[in-house]
Amino acid sequence: MRIIGAWLLCDDGAISPTLRAKSLREDGTLAADVFLLDTGADRTVFSAAFLEDLGLPAHDSSPEYSLVGISGNRPFVLVETALEFSHDDGGVVRVRGEFAAFSDPTATDMSVLGRDVLNNFDVILSRRRNEVLLLAPNHQYRVEKS
């Protein structure tokens, strides 16, 4: 399985590795968002805008836990759902579980795909080759000396 992302031009001119993911809204329709691939993030976090679009019931996290980023603690909630990713065989894979989501709309401009999801794949980010790839069986990578 090969899931293909893209290097996307952002508001500040930076070009960042991203992947489109989808999730079911409360009304049964699908919503999509662009996620920043962040191999330094322990957890995947939905932006408040995506959470609001989904309209899914969310619950507060345990009070002894907080979500800490470079800019400090931000309020967040937890939501039970599944993220869908399209792969290049023409199919769709679903990752189901409990995801974190910012409740402050200004906490982040993009949803973040962290290692809780990325650890299930081999992740290739190559700006030089303009590639963003998530690999799972039956795909693999090989490093060769040219």
Partner 1 sequence: MNEFRFEIEEVTDPAEVARSLTLDERHARNTDWLEGHWADLMPQARGKFVAVAGEESHIADTLEAGRAWIARTHPEDHGAFVRYVRKQEGPRIYANHRCVAAV
Residues that bind partner 1 (CB under 8 A): 8-14, 20, 22, 29-34, 36, 38-43, 45, 47-50, 52-53, 61-70, 84, 86, 90-97, 100, 105-106, 108-110, 112, 114, 116-117, 120, 136
Nearer to partner 1, 137 or 145 (CB): 137
CB atoms within 10 A of CB 48: 21
- Taking the complex as a whole, the smallest distance from the CB of residue 98 to partner 1 amounts, in Å, to 8
Strand partners, 60: 77
- Taking the complex as a whole, the smallest distance from the CB of residue 126 to partner 1 amounts, in Å, to 19
- Taking the complex as a whole, the smallest distance from the CB of residue 74 to partner 1 amounts, in Å, to 9
Angle 92-97-98 (CA atoms, 0-180°, nearest 5)? 135
Nearer to partner 1, 42 or 126 (CB): 42
Secondary structure (3-state) at 14: coil
Cis check: omega of the bond before 138, within 30 degrees of 0: yes
Nearer to partner 1, 70 or 143 (CB): 70
Do strands 131-135 and 2-4 pair parallel, antiparallel, or not at all (unpaired)? antiparallel
Distance CA 74, CA 81 (A): 21
Nearer to partner 1, 23 or 145 (CB): 23
The residue assigned the tokens 């409360």 is: 26
CB atoms within 10 A of CB 143: 4
Nearer to partner 1, 138 or 143 (CB): 138
- Taking the complex as a whole, the smallest distance from the CB of residue 138 to partner 1 amounts, in Å, to 12
